[in-house]
Structure 1
Amino acid sequence: MNTAPLALPRHDIQAPAPGLPARAGLGLKTEHFREVLEQQPDIGFFEVHAENYMVAGGPFHHYLGLIRERYPLSLHGVGLSIGGEGPLDCAHLDRLAALIERYQPQSFSEHLAWSSHGPVFLNDLLPLAYDGPTLQRVCEHIDQVQNHLGRHLLLENPATYLQFQRSTLDETEFLAEVIKRSGCGLLLDVNNVYVSCINHQRDPLAYLRALPLHRVGEIHLAGFAEDQDSLGDRLLIDDHGAPVDRAVWTLYQQVLAAIGPMATLIERDNRIPPFAVLQAEAGQAEALLHSAKVRP
């Protein structure tokens, strides 16, 4: 991969979502509830998946309520199916609105993907065809979500493994147009950029140059698994089960050089290591954020 500096004009540094600090955060895991409360580590913020908390009570809410008193919170949705062909699930939207009202997170985000068809939920984030009808549908869905919640969301760029022949727009063109029309922000998942570009034999830097980076409100970093496709080419899988790869750290540095410090999450959803390991990765991101802040 080309590791030359990202040839982008430096954007005016955008303020993070209100209250979300331009620091490194971690995904909050049940394994670490007690350790976080007892040790109160120096972490910028925590992020949780909204769907894990769509119940009235129980231990998840008990611990999240206590942790929310001490740390900023980012709420990350995985089940809205914003790219789906059918209408949004209004009951799901109501549960999401209640959760946001309860915890007042500093940031809410969702995926450019679909995961349901009719009454069937597929428990995956599936890709879209990038064409005019899909663009209109996604924008209408985002408008509905933002109006229902009374706040703007951040839309995450996807990790993909296939492309639709009927697409008439590049993924970056599609994302830019959605953001322009809906007013939402961009959750820039740098790992997804790298995974998708390697899988589709594209240049990650060219992909980044084509994005509206001035609309980034949060950054995600994660690890991936590696396999081979039927032709023997590299196939990267966004499994969130490994440390952040060196190539992703390099891309992250180039993004920070272009937009300045931005709230950054270390994602780990599989093969969860001890909290100290995740905290060390957050420390790597924190050092790069500090370097971006002091650079002239």
Structure 2
Amino acid sequence: MVQELDPIAVSDHLSWSSVNGQFFNDLLPLPYTEEALRLFCQKVEQVQEVLGRRLLIENPSSYLAFAHSTIPEWEFLQQVQQRTDCHLLLDLNNIYVSAFNHGFDCQQYLAAIDPATVKEIHLAGFTVKTVDDGEMWIDTHSRPVSEPVWQLYRQWVRQHSAQHGLVPTLIEWDLDIPDFAVLQQEADKATLIIQQEAEHGLIVT
């Protein structure tokens, strides 16, 4: 299909969803260990060799973590990029959601990412779910982009676009889909951020 359609980019998540021929309808978190890193890199290299192009690997949202993980997700993701020469798809909502769920700092995550390797950005909304011991944030793609995620987007555009250029930005909304006017408003917010940063001379559009 990739050869037939020749899309601009082909992406997949830093996750797994099958074992022993059984497939799961979800993106399951990896154990962030050296063994998992080697295996994941092997898979990325195999796909890139077959397709004859670089993949974009996207950071996931997650709701649990393996106790035996030894590598922070942002370092794991960067190691995948460096070892396979793939590109990255940076999902800012996933970073924000996972930061709350696991207690890490969004800024530490973003600081570890090489902006030259980011070729696409995703934004989305999330849902807050009440659980026994508090809250869990779920990447549902069913709400407007939250203000903190817009701020992360503005920060990324401001810090990196002048040197590395603008990259495609996708707003994901695939549940509880509203009227088109609402979707257009979300897209307009992204455009406005780019225009405002351009007016300050921080990027070239």
| TM-score calculated relative to the size of structure 1 | 0.64
Query: How far 1:171 moved relative to its partner?
Result: 0.5
SS at match of 1:143: helix
Percentage of matched positions with identical amino acids: 45
- Alignment of 1:164 with 2:62, yes or no, is no
Between the aligned partners of 1:289 and 1:153, the Cα distance in structure 2 is 26
- Alignment of 1:101 with 2:28, yes or no, is no
Between the aligned partners of 1:122 and 1:265, the Cα distance in structure 2 is 25
Asked whether the 8 Å contact 1:262–1:289 carries over to 2, the reply is: no
- Alignment of 1:146 with 2:65, yes or no, is no
Between the aligned partners of 2:8 and 2:197, the Cα distance in structure 1 is 22
Relative to structure 1, is the Cα distance of residues 293 and 102 closer, same or farther in structure 2, using a 3 angstrom cutoff? farther
Query: How far 1:228 moved relative to its partner?
Result: 2.8
Query: How far 1:223 moved relative to its partner?
Result: 0.4
- Structure 1 counterpart of 2:145, one-letter code: V
Between the aligned partners of 1:164 and 1:213, the Cα distance in structure 2 is 28
Which residue does the alignment assign to 1:291? 196
Query: How far 1:114 moved relative to its partner?
Result: 0.7
Between the aligned partners of 1:158 and 1:249, the Cα distance in structure 2 is 18
| TM-score calculated relative to the size of structure 2 | 0.92
Asked whether the 8 Å contact 1:110–1:155 carries over to 2, the reply is: yes
Which residue does the alignment assign to 1:184? 86
Between the aligned partners of 1:289 and 1:183, the Cα distance in structure 2 is 28
Alignment partner of 1:271 out of 169, 173, 176: 176
Which residue does the alignment assign to 1:126? 28
Deviates more, 1:244-253 or 1:281-290: 281-290
- Residues 7-39 of structure 1, C-alpha deviations (whole Å, 9 max, x = no match): xxxxxxxxxxxxxxxxxxxxxxxxxxxxxxxxx
Which residue does the alignment assign to 2:148? 247
Query: How far 1:235 moved relative to its partner?
Result: 1.2
After superposition, residues 61-140 of structure 1 pair within 5 angstroms as 99-140=1-42
Query: How far 1:275 moved relative to its partner?
Result: 2.2
Which residue does the alignment assign to 1:75? none
- Residues 159-196 of structure 1, C-alpha deviations (whole Å, 9 max, x = no match): 01111111111111101110000000110000000000
Structure 1 residue ranges, 4+ long, deviating more than 3 angstroms after superposition: none
Query: How far 1:237 moved relative to its partner?
Result: 0.2
Between the aligned partners of 1:145 and 1:274, the Cα distance in structure 2 is 38
- Residues 208-236 of structure 1, C-alpha deviations (whole Å, 9 max, x = no match): 1122222100000000000233222x310
SS at match of 1:102: helix
Between the aligned partners of 2:3 and 2:183, the Cα distance in structure 1 is 29
Between the aligned partners of 2:155 and 2:181, the Cα distance in structure 1 is 27
Between the aligned partners of 1:152 and 1:279, the Cα distance in structure 2 is 31
Query: How far 1:206 moved relative to its partner?
Result: 1.6
Task: Show structure 1 runs of 5+ residues with no match.
Answer: 1-98
- Structure 1 counterpart of 2:130, one-letter code: Q
Alignment partner of 1:258 out of 146, 156, 159: 159
Query: How far 1:147 moved relative to its partner?
Result: 0.7
Between the aligned partners of 2:2 and 2:13, the Cα distance in structure 1 is 17
Query: How far 1:290 moved relative to its partner?
Result: 2.5
Between the aligned partners of 1:293 and 1:214, the Cα distance in structure 2 is 19
Structure ranking higher on relative contact order (CA contacts 8 Å, 6+ apart) = 1
Which residue does the alignment assign to 1:282? 187
Between the aligned partners of 1:238 and 1:221, the Cα distance in structure 2 is 10
Structure with larger Rg: 1
- Structure 2 counterpart of 1:286, one-letter code: T
Task: Show structure 2 runs of 5+ residues with no match.
Answer: none
Query: How far 1:240 moved relative to its partner?
Result: 0.6
- Structure 1 counterpart of 2:61, one-letter code: A
Relative to structure 1, is the Cα distance of residues 110 and 293 closer, same or farther in structure 2, using a 3 angstrom cutoff? farther
- Residues 83-104 of structure 1, C-alpha deviations (whole Å, 9 max, x = no match): xxxxxxxxxxxxxxxx222222
